[in-house]
Amino acid sequence: MVIEELEKLLTLQKIDNEIFEKEIEVNLFPEKEKNLNREIEIFEKKIKEIKDDFKKLQLDRKEKELEIKSYEETLKNLNKKLDEVKSNKEYEALLIEITNVKKKISEIEEDVLILMEKEEEIIKKEKDLQQELNQKKEIVSKTIEEEKKKIETLKKEIENKKEERELIVKEIDSKIYNLYEKIRNTKKDKVAVVKIEDGICSGCYMTLPTYIIEKVKKKKEVVQCENCSRILY
Ligand SMILES: [Zn+2]
């Protein structure tokens, strides 16, 4: 009688453990999905930063180009003045001024070139990152898709297992079943029925007193471990 009940309990426990493990996996999915999406977000942030850098460089360059234009205007005026000078001294002073302006222009032009090179580098970097991001997005969405399918399957399996469970629970003596549930709900490992192995309770690893082992052997009643309360067999 008790042996049959115990066998049913063990079957029930097997089903419950399967449900428990599957539910853990189902519950882990949202966090998994979040982490996968976070990878993409980090990447997008990096690209945005690069784009901002690029804008800054462009603004910087435009400013310098305007500066060149203004110096060129100055140069034009100086050249005009050159035609109208009346003395050598004035002429020489103008020449010096023209040389200085030309020097200034060529300095800024060099800066502009450096900025343009930097812009090119950034464009390339952005393109590479964008490509990498697209690949990553593809992988992530595929992974999420697969995970979702897996979760759907798991949910169906859980449903099936729960139906299977119902049938077995109906067959178990309600007192024994309630005891099983009570123990199970207090245990982290969700194990309520455990084997005696070499005189030790395999639930809490305590050595069991002989009289308990004898009681279990007689198979006339449900025996619990005095330490962890699990049902012994
Ligand atoms: Zn125990």
- pLDDT digits 0-9 by tens, 71-124: 999 999 999 998 888 899 999 999 999 999 999 999 999 999 999 999 999 999
- pLDDT digits 0-9 by tens, 190-225: 999 999 999 999 999 999 999 999 999 999 999 999
Round to whole Å and give the CA distance between 106 and 112: 10
**In the prediction, which pLDDT does 7 show?**
94
Say how many Å lie between the CA of residue 203 and the centre of ligand 1: 5
Say how many Å lie between the CA of residue 176 and the centre of ligand 1: 17
Q: Are residues 12 and 180 in contact, defined by beta-carbon separation less than 8 angstroms?
A: yes
| CB under 8 A, 24+ apart: contacts of 69-73 | 71/101, 71/104, 71/105, 71/108, 72/105
Phi, psi of 30 (to 5 degrees): -55, -40
Say how many Å lie between the CA of residue 200 and the centre of ligand 1: 8
**In the prediction, which pLDDT does 172 show?**
95
**In the prediction, which pLDDT does 3 show?**
85
pTM of the complete model: 0.73
- pLDDT digits 0-9 by tens, 11-42: 999 999 999 999 999 999 999 999 999 999 99
Write down the H helix ranges in 86-230. Answer: 88-171, 174-186, 210-218
Say how many Å lie between the CA of residue 207 and the centre of ligand 1: 8
**Given a cut of 80, is residue 1 above it in pLDDT?**
no
DSSP 8-state class, residue 207: B
Per CATH, which fold does 26-159 belong to? Helix Hairpins (1.10.287)
**In the prediction, which pLDDT does 2 show?**
83
